Each structure stands twice: as C-alpha cells, then as structure tokens.
C-alpha cells in the first residue's frame, strides 16, 4: 500500500507513485544486474540504511516489480513485470551521461559494472542479432559479465558459468574502452588489459558492437591505480 500519491490518472504519475521515492530506482538498477541478497544491496547502496532498504523492497514486492526467493541465500530479483523497466531505465542512464557532474560526487564511486550496464542499452540489437558471446571482466575488486544472445545484451554481476573470454583491467581502462578512447587491441598492447582466458577476438568484437560516443559528455576524471596484471 502506497502512503503517497500524485492523485493523477496519468500513467507517468502512477509509475512515479511507486518508483519516485528516493533510492527506489537505484534498487531496481542493482536488480537489473541479477538477483541480490539484502546485504549485497546494502553494500552497494550503503547510504540507504537498513530501514529504508526494507521499505523500498517492500513496495517493489507488493507491486509485483520484484520478488523475494526464500532460498538459502534469500535473494531479491526482478519479476518479468519489473524486467520491463530495463529499457526505460537504461535510456534514462544514457540521457544522464550528458549531465554535468556535481562537484559533491566522489569519482571513486564509479563502478565498471554500471558502465557495462549502460553499454547494453546502447545501439540497435541488429548489430549483434546473430552474436552469442559471454565476456567476463575483472576490474579491480569487481567481477561481472556481459552476455550477448541473439539481439539481447545484458550485464550480470559475478562470474559467468562459462565465459568465451575473461579480461582483467582497471576502472580507467574499462571506461576508456567503453567510450572508444582506446581500442581493445591497444589496451592489450599497452599492458592496460590482460586476457586471463579465452579469445581476444571476442573481447575486440564486444567493443565493436557496443559503442557510445556522445557529443557532450560530462565525466569525472578517475584517479585509479595503474593496472598490474595478476599472475
């Protein structure tokens, strides 16, 4: 049951009755990356606090957007109805890339898997309609994978059950790859990226397929340690 409403029949207003509270869309964003435990959601959204997180999840569950799985890990995940938010939410993220960055925002809060999530909302599915691939990335402490499957592209948190290629790099390099400031081949040649396993050609194909080069892009500079491949 919602405590607040705009009191309008407009579907935008009714959507905001459910999704317009602060933090709610960020919880949905995290669930777009796959099922998450309560503690995992708090770890990536620590400023929410336990009570607010519980309240937002309750609203999402009550409105059929998310569901709780009573398994040993007790995870939350999007329902098919909630999954329909993927396209509009990623479009909102692409739109937001051109906004100026507030000076109060810590550049260190950037996450490679969220950059990857935005990448999957870019371009036409026609460019990868016949491509099936799973590319796993190890970026600092983050591990995630991008899956391309017959015109559908999704980013998932965690390791892939079976990856065609696993790439290790730092956050600055991953962002540069995403913005086409450096090519996969250049990243490998310069030692900024390392193929842990699999086919380098699939790494190159991924960033040929998912491209974004906006005219007016505002991004903070990233002060990250230089990449050192792990043996």
Contact 168, 196 (CB under 8 A): yes
pLDDT at 60 over 60: yes
pLDDT band at 225 (very low <50, low <70, confident <90, very high): very low
Give CA–CA dist 230/132, Å, rounded: 28
Domain locations along the chain: 11-84, 90-209
- Average pLDDT, stretch 7-13? 95
pLDDT band at 149 (very low <50, low <70, confident <90, very high): confident
Q: Fold identical between 11-84 and 90-209?
A: no
Weakest mean pLDDT among 16-20, 149-153, 218-222: 218-222
Give CA–CA dist 192/147, Å, rounded: 23
DSSP annotation string for 76-123: EEE-HHHHTTHHHHHHHHHHHTTSPPPTTS-GGG--HHHHHHHHTTSS
Q: What is the pTM of this model?
A: 0.87
Evaluate whether the domain defined by 90-209 bears CATH number 2.30.110.10: no
Give CA–CA dist 51/7, Å, rounded: 26
Evaluate whether the domain defined by 11-84 bears CATH number 1.10.10.10: yes
DSSP annotation string for the chain: --S-------HHHHHHHHH-STTHHHHHHHHHT--EEHHHHHHHSGGG-HHHHHHHHHHHHHTTSEEEE-STT-EEEE-HHHHTTHHHHHHHHHHHTTSPPPTTS-GGG--HHHHHHHHTTSS-GGGGTT-EEEEEEEETTEEEEEEEETTEEEEEES--SS-SEEEEE-HHHHHHHHTTSS-HHHHHHTTSEEEEEE-HHHHHHHHHHS----SS--------PPP----
Beta-bridge mates of residue 76: 36, 68
pLDDT band at 103 (very low <50, low <70, confident <90, very high): confident
Residue 216 has which token pair?
């007016």
pLDDT attached to residue 24: 97
Rg, C-alpha atoms of the chain:
18
pLDDT digit string, tens, across residues 157-208: 999 999 999 999 999 999 999 888 999 999 999 999 999 999 899 999 888 8
- Average pLDDT, stretch 71-89? 92
pLDDT band at 210 (very low <50, low <70, confident <90, very high): confident
């Amino acid at each position: 049951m919602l405590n607040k409403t705009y009191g309008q029949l407009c579907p935008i207003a009714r959507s905001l009755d459910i999704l317009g509270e602060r933090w709610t869309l960020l919880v949905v964003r995290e669930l777009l990356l796959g099922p998450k435990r309560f503690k995992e959601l708090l770890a990536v959204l620590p400023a929410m606090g336990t009570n607010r997180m519980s309240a937002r999840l309750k609203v999402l569950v009550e409105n059929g957007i998310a569901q709780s799985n009573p398994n040993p890990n007790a995870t939350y995940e999007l329902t098919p109805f909630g999954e329909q938010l993927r396209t509009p939410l990623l479009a909102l993220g692409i739109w937001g890339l051109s906004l100026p960055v507030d000076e109060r925002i810590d550049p260190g809060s950037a996450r490679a898997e969220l950059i990857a999530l935005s990448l999957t909302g870019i371009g036409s599915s026609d460019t990868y309609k016949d491509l099936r691939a799973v590319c796993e990335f190890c970026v600092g402490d983050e591990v995630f994978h991008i899956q391309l499957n017959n015109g559908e592209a999704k980013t998932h948190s965690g390791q892939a059950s079976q990856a065609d290629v696993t790439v290790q790099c730092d956050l600055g390099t991953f962002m540069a790859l995403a913005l086409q400031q450096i090519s996969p081949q250049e990243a490998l040649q310069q030692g900024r990226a390392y193929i842990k396993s699999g086919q380098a050609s699939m790494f190159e194909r991924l960033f040929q397929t998912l491209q974004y080069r906006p005219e007016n892009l505002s991004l903070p500079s990233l002060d990250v340690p230089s990449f050192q491949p792990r043996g």
